[in-house]
């Protein structure tokens, strides 16, 4: 059990949530999503994203369309489906609960320590 | 000077150095192996290829600049090795396994090892299956026909036909009973690239005449030794001995120069070589070892064979003509 591993496990759990959250703002193509995740230090290697996008799409949470780009070949633009929006709402709630829970635990522990 | 290859990634053409190409190919192969059993594998690979194209595009102009090995290494670093992908599906049970990747132990299977073969790779396949030295298996297979177990020859041919060759990397690992995991697959793929590279450079250097010799020189030394010993023994048996024992079904397909010995119930015909065949074989042997005489002796053999084959036919034809007229 090392700390890097534990961190990675934590990130894994919320990665799907983050992708849905990024796409809830506006439709984006894979590289946009990657850049946002990288800026936020949510992913280390880009390869992580593609299996996730495919899985979310196959689960019916995402859809995509091809869009011509000004330079280069057409790009895949991902968007949330209705199902994806509902799913995201659920995750929003549980994320807030989780954050609260962790905060509560941390606070009470610290109080006890004092 | 470096040789370049042109590749098409997502409709963009890139020139890429040969070494860089090899690296990229092995990376993509590894990804393919990694995602093999997952949903939407093809789609994931295409998405990743497209992203790689995009990253190349940032560095070189498609169709103009050349992608180099450092660029490929950099892109692979950005994309990450499959072990580094943080996949929620691989879950927490993977924790203790660290980065060793998925571990899948397939049952051992008998394949023909076509990378290490004399004829069909049957012996090397058997050796891999039982994890013994291939030389031992070849010696056994080579000796059996001389000790009245000629049945091994049809057995070998049946095995050759029936046992599938180990073509894919997974099959090759399965043949040796090694676990099919990413590091093993990567290692095997790397080995194969080296091998293919070597073979290519060899083929380049050789013309058609040298090809046979090339195959011979590509065999390992001990394989050569085994083959030479087996051939010499077979040759000696044919030329100076009573021939080779080979049980076949009584009365079925049997050349005229086979003589059936009287074993009740089980016919053991010997292959006897008529004098003319021995002469031809000896001439052929001389031809192989005495290069300057090669052409002359080959013509001599052709003429002898033509005479032997067509002489009876000629006599018969003359006889027929004599009857008619």
Tens-digit pLDDT profile for residues B228-250: 776 776 666 666 655 555 544 44
Residue to test with chain B: of A7, A9, A45, most B Cβ within 10 A: A45
Q: Please calculate the CA angle B317-B322-B325 and round it to the nearest 5 degrees.
A: 120
What is the C-alpha to C-alpha distance for residues B297 and B140, in angstroms, rounded to an integer? 34
Q: Please state, for a pLDDT cut of 90, what percent of chain A lies above it.
A: 14
Lowest mean pLDDT, pick from A4-8, A62-66, B103-107: B103-107
Lowest mean pLDDT, pick from A48-62, A81-95, B15-29, B91-105: B91-105
For residue A60, give the H/E element and its range: none
User: Chain A residues with CB inside 8 Å of B95's CB?
Assistant: 1, 5, 9
pLDDT < 70 stretches in chain B: 86-106, 146-150, 179-183, 198-227, 230, 233-277, 309, 312
From A111's Cα to the closest Cα of chain B, the distance in A is: 31
pLDDT on residue B255:
45
Higher pLDDT, A56 or B268: A56
B89/A55 Cβ within 8 A: yes
Beta bridge partners of B66: B15
pLDDT on residue A100:
92
A48/B85 Cβ within 8 A: yes
CB pairs under 8 A between A and B: 83
B85/A16 Cβ within 8 A: no
Q: Which residue of A has its CA nearest to B80?
A: A45
Closest CA relative to residue A52, chosen from A24, A89, A78 = A78
pLDDT of A27 strictly over 50: yes
pLDDT of A26 strictly over 70: yes
| Contact residues of B toward A, CB < 8 A | 10-12, 31, 35, 38-40, 43-44, 47-48, 50-51, 53-54, 57, 77-82, 84-89, 92, 95, 98
Closest CA relative to residue B115, chosen from B79, B163, B168, B62 = B168
User: Chain A residues with CB inside 8 Å of B82's CB?
Assistant: 47
pLDDT on residue B216:
58
Q: Which residue of A has its CA nearest to B81?
A: A47
Q: Are B244 and B270 a contacting pair, CB within 8 Å?
A: yes
A12/B86 Cβ within 8 A: yes
pLDDT on residue A114:
62
Query: In whole angstroms, what separates CA B202 from the centre of its chain?
Result: 16
End-to-end CA distance of chain B, in Å? 77
ipTM for the whole complex = 0.82
Q: How confident is the model at residue A71 (pLDDT cuts 50, 70, 90)?
A: confident
What is the C-alpha to C-alpha distance for residues B19 and B14, in angstroms, rounded to an integer? 14
From A113's Cα to the closest Cα of chain B, the distance in A is: 31
Full strand arrangement of the beta sheet holding B66-67: B4-9, B12-17, B66-67
A12/B87 Cβ within 8 A: yes
What is the C-alpha to C-alpha distance for residues B47 and B25, in angstroms, rounded to an integer? 16
Burial class (CB in 10 A: 0-12, 13-18, 19+), B153: middle
Residue to test with chain A: of B49, B88, B92, B102, most A Cβ within 10 A: B88
What is the C-alpha to C-alpha distance for residues A107 and B318, in angstroms, rounded to an integer? 116
- In this complex, which of A11, A34, A73 lies closest to B12 when CB atoms are compared? A73
Higher pLDDT, B39 or A100: A100
The average pLDDT across A81-104 equals: 91
pLDDT on residue A93:
92
pLDDT on residue A101:
92
The DSSP letter of residue A70 is S
User: Chain A residues with CB inside 8 Å of B30's CB?
Assistant: none
């Amino acid at each position: 059990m090392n700390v890097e591993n534990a961190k990675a496990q934590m990130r894994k759990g919320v990665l799907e949530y983050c992708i849905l959250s990024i796409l809830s703002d506006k439709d984006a193509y894979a590289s946009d999503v990657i850049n946002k995740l990288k800026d936020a230090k949510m992913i280390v290697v880009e390869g992580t994203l593609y299996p996730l996008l495919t899985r979310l799409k196959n689960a019916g949470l995402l859809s995509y369309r091809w869009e011509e780009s000004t330079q280069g070949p057409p790009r895949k633009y991902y968007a949330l489906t209705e199902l994806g929006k509902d799913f995201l709402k659920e995750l929003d709630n549980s994320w807030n609960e989780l954050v609260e829970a962790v905060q509560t635990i941390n606070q009470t522990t610290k109080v006890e320590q004092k | 000077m470096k040789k370049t290859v042109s590749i098409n990634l997502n409709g963009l053409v890139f020139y890429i150095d040969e070494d860089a190409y090899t690296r990229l190919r092995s990376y993509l192969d590894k990804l393919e192996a990694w995602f093999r059993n997952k949903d939407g594998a093809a789609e994931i690979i295409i998405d990743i290829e497209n992203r790689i194209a995009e990253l190349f595009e940032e560095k070189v102009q498609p169709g103009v600049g050349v992608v180099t090995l450092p660029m490929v290494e950099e892109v692979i670093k950005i994309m990450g090795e499959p072990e580094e992908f943080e996949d929620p599906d691989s879950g927490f049970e993977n924790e203790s396994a660290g980065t060793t990747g998925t571990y899948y132990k397939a049952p051992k299977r008998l394949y023909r090892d076509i990378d290490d073969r004399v004829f069909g790779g049957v012996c090397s396949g058997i050796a891999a299956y039982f994890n013994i030295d291939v030389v031992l298996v070849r010696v056994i297979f080579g000796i059996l026909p001389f000790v009245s177990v000629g049945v091994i020859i049809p057995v070998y041919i049946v095995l050759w036909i029936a046992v599938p060759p180990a073509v894919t990397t997974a099959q090759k690992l399965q043949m040796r009973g090694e676990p099919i995991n990413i590091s093993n697959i990567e290692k095997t793929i790397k080995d194969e690239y080296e091998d293919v590279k070597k073979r290519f450079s060899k083929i380049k250097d050789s013309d058609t005449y040298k090809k046979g010799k090339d195959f011979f020189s590509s065999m390992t030394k001990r394989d050569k030794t085994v083959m030479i010993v087996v051939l010499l023994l077979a040759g000696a048996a044919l030329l100076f001995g009573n021939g080779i024992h080979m049980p076949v079904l009584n009365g079925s397909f049997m050349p005229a120069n086979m003589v059936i010995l009287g074993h009740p119930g089980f016919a053991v015909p010997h292959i006897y070589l008529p004098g003319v065949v021995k002469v031809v074989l000896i001439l052929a042997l001389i031809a192989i070892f005495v290069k300057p005489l090669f052409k002359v002796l080959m013509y001599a053999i052709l003429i002898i064979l033509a005479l032997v084959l067509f002489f009876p036919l000629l006599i018969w034809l003359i006889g027929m003509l004599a009857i008619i007229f």
